[in-house]
Amino acid sequence: MSTWLLERDSFLLELLRLDGRRDYILQDTCQGGIECPFPPLYQCKDCFTTELYCKHCTVDKHCEIPLHRIEVCTVLLTKYILTVLI
């Protein structure tokens, strides 16, 4: 139990990071296509990746797997999480 208490802040920050935009919090444009100018707001809950894509690239990547669950990561949610952390 004492080990958990020493590491709980790290674990909680990691849970918040994984629940939000993950490592893409500072990414302004989608990396799904060549020079895609749209913001990365969509994440697949069923793919084995943590990447965020724009709406167009998400549809392109999932045209053959339509049953995957897509989550929208909004900027308001990110601002709320950052406010909670500060």
- The domain segmentation of the chain, as residue ranges, is 2-85
Q: Which two tokens stand for residue 69?
A: 């669950």
Bridge partner residues of 43 (DSSP): 71
**Quick one: average pLDDT of 47-73?**
86
The percentage of the chain sitting over the pLDDT mark of 90, rounded to a whole number, equals 0
Asked whether the predicted pLDDT for residue 80 surpasses 80, the reply is: no
The percentage of the chain sitting over the pLDDT mark of 70, rounded to a whole number, equals 72
pLDDT in tens, 16-54: 766 666 666 667 778 887 888 888 888 888 888 778 888
The pLDDT of residue 82? 44
DSSP H/E element including 18: helix 2-19
C-alpha closest to that of 37 among 53, 22, 60: 53
Residue with structure tokens 């392109």?
60
